[in-house]
Chains A and B, each alone.
Chain A
Amino acid sequence: MSDLFIRFRWVILTILVFVFVTLFTAEFQQAQTTAVLASALRQSTPLLFGALCGVLCERSGVVNIGIEGQMLLSAFVGFMVASATGSLVAGILAGMATGALMGAGLAGLSVTLQGDQIIAGTVLNIAAFGISSYFFQQGLTLPSGKTSPVSLGPLADLPVIGRVFFINPPLTYLSLILIWLVWFVLFRTRWGLWTRSVGEVPSAAETVGISVARVRYTNLIAGGCLAGLGGAYLSLEAVGSFERMMTNGRGFVALAVMIFGRWNPIGIWGAALLFGYASAVQTQLQFRGWLADDPQFIGMIPYVVCIVVLAGFVGRARPPAAIGQPYSRE
């Protein structure tokens, strides 16, 4: 555990600085601080789902540039199903299934057919955009409304923390559990060992009897479920409706989050919170009337942060060695 703190010291330090800045700018008004932090958590959740999808794919050696498309189409299908059946659970499951199906498609293109992984992911993105725009009908609503927050009893009464972490809708809780679940699977189970070895030296993994194709397929499909949850979060939990292009680049920011978090779920959580914070500050600045005449500069903040982080950290972070290479038995 202490090992983790050392490895992620920059992420942790940055978050601490941001939390401090929040407390400072809010002039220690508890309500405002809480609002910014809660909004940071809300904004970070879809990035977290997307980045956890990315880490499962990349740890097994497959670049997934199609997370954006997986999230967009899942948001769409989840919304349509929930709107038609009136059941949010059905909508969420449909979103997961959509993501998983697209993950399987990506695996088919990049593992079985050994195509270029980035082009395969781009196909997913364009297809998701086309399908969701073509079949979308204006004016549909959710009969049940979006998912509602659940308060976790006495924990929710804690100052600041309680409001931020313990009064949340279900998918947000799920994302917080999934961080630890994905970490456990990757670093404490045999499957995780297989995944990581396939992502580093697939030929060696194959020599000891691990099926590279099976590991990659399973991870891409499982990752697709997570991206699907991210999509369902957007349409069913955060907004409560579907809009064209509603992912707005979050699938790509999720990839930057994954790199900044060094392909480790716990680091990814820190990175996701950082990006979520950048978006939360954006709304807070607008609310307080700073830069009110030039909202476009505020709108740039998350994307500029993403570029700066990538430029600053990518060189120093090491991706899985076999990333991007199709594997074929010789």
Chain B
Amino acid sequence: MKMLKPVAVPLIAVGLALGIGAIILAVSGANPIEAYGALIDGSLSSQKTVGRTLEKATPLIMGGLAVAFAFRAGLFNIGGQGQLVVGGIFSAAVGFGFEGLPWIIHAPMALAIGALAGAAWGSIAGILKATRGAHEVITTIMLNFVALNLTDWLASNPWKDEGILSRTPAVEESALIPLWGSFPTGFLVAVAASIGCWYLLERTNLGFEIRSVGLNGDAARYVGISVQRIVIATMAISGLLAGAGGAIETQGVIGRYEPGFNAGLGFNGITIALLARNHPLGVIPAALLIGAMEAGGSMMQFNADVAPEITDIIEALMLLFVATPIVVRWFFSRQEVAEVSVTAGWGSS
């Protein structure tokens, strides 16, 4: 029973959300069993669909990690989308801008530049928070809109492909992250990133400082931790993760940057981080679940004639149940719930 405790709340949240989702489907005139059947059919039935689920799950892992990592320092990074598109377009620029490099250099370089661009974008919000006290929830959302405009401009001016579409040229073959049969190799990068985050948070000094700031900023300040430095570093790492997610999407899935580049990430990172209870390794199964729902969404529309947006409702319900304290307290006594509050620091510096 003790072993089951950490996964009990997410499992119940998922179960309740799917149950209510079925009711909504039934009310709106669809057959829930047929719809969920199509969902599973489109995500898990064959080697190809499983590959598609993994492909969808990869940026979700990175987006979920970005949110979960920032959460551990008490920061709420809603800017994953912006950091992801910035990372995506910079990796595309490196991908099409260099010719004749060997794969072993070109692909990692594009990935690294994309990740660093995401880190730079994320650290803007960190710097504004640390030096000016501007709350990251608002600044990261505003930076999302700025990032979308900026990447749109880059893709329609300096880095534009020939032709009328606002998109970058296709990246060189030497920058691609290849498919291995139907298995997307980028998924391995995401899993490695999860393990890296776990190690950083649980086994290093920086991780200890990040967790201290998240649990009690004042106490951390008294023992000599520079809270400002941790805030900036955390937002930079969080942006790095999201930026790397965008780079993998460019190099492994789309092959270039184009409008509507992973518009699907949106708020999913938050749902995934909370389902994982902010544990870096828990992010992987949570992202696989959401990834399967996304991969199966089109099949659901095709076979059961259900609008794929139902998955957005189910995800909101999951978030609702996983974040509702009363559900959590069915399983944990008050002392065990050492939750990080993200509302701390609202409006004050």
Contact = CB atoms under 8 A, between A and B. Distances in A.
A144 B45 CA distance: 49
Contact of B325 (A113, A249, A306, A314): A113
Interface in A108-160: 109, 113-120, 122-123, 125-127, 129-131, 133-135
A227 to B, nearest CB: 16
Contact of B312 (A129, A249, A259, A304): A129
Contacts of B138: 252, 255-256, 306, 310
B325 A134 contact: no
B145 A303 contact: yes
19 contacts: A114-B325, A118-B76, A118-B343, A126-B271, A126-B315, A126-B316, A130-B309, A130-B314, A133-B307, A133-B309, A134-B310, A248-B145, A297-B149, A300-B150, A307-B143, A307-B146, A314-B132, A315-B132, A324-B341
Contacts of A134: 24, 28, 307, 309-310, 312-313
A296 interface: yes
A22 to B, nearest CB: 24
A17 to B, nearest CB: 22
B344 interface: yes
A116 B316 contact: no
Chain A's interface size range is 35 or more
A127 B309 contact: no
A323 B144 CA distance: 26
A137 B322 CA distance: 30
A109 B324 contact: yes
> Which are the 7 A-B pairs with shortest beta-carbon distances?
A130-B312, A319-B347, A324-B343, A296-B153, A130-B313, A134-B309, A127-B316
A119 B313 CA distance: 16
B142 A120 contact: no
B313 A314 contact: no
B146 A294 contact: no
B312 A126 contact: yes
B323 interface: yes
B313 A131 contact: yes
B200 to A, nearest CB: 24
Given A113-B325, A119-B323, A259-B347, A126 B267 contact: yes
Given A120-B323, A127-B313, A306-B142, A297 B153 contact: yes
B343 A307 contact: no
A65 interface: yes
A215 B347 CA distance: 21
Contact of A296 (B141, B150, B274): B150
Given A123-B320, A314-B133, A319 B343 contact: no
A312 interface: yes
Interface in A293-317: 293-294, 296-297, 299-300, 303-304, 306-307, 310-312, 314-315, 317
A129 B339 CA distance: 27
A199 B347 CA distance: 14
Contacts of A325: 343
A130 B315 contact: yes
B106 interface: no
A300 B137 contact: no
A30 to B, nearest CB: 32
Nearest to B132: A311
B326 interface: yes
A92 interface: no
A63 interface: yes
B319 A123 contact: yes
Contacts of B225: none
Contacts of B189: none
Interface string B265-284: 01100110010000000000
B170 to A, nearest CB: 22
B158 to A, nearest CB: 11
A101 B341 CA distance: 25
B135 interface: yes
A116 B149 contact: no
Given A130-B309, A306-B142, A314-B135, A296 B149 contact: yes
A300 B146 contact: yes
B324 A323 contact: no
Contact of B323 (A123, A296, A303, A323): A123
Contacts of B341: 116, 324
Nearest to A255: B138
B146 A303 contact: yes
Contacts of A131: 313, 316
A259 B142 CA distance: 15
Nearest to B78: A122
Contacts of A129: 266-267, 312, 316
A215 B138 CA distance: 26
Interface in B286-335: 307, 309-310, 312-317, 319-320, 323-326
Nearest to B306: A134
A323 B346 contact: yes
Contacts of B320: 123, 127
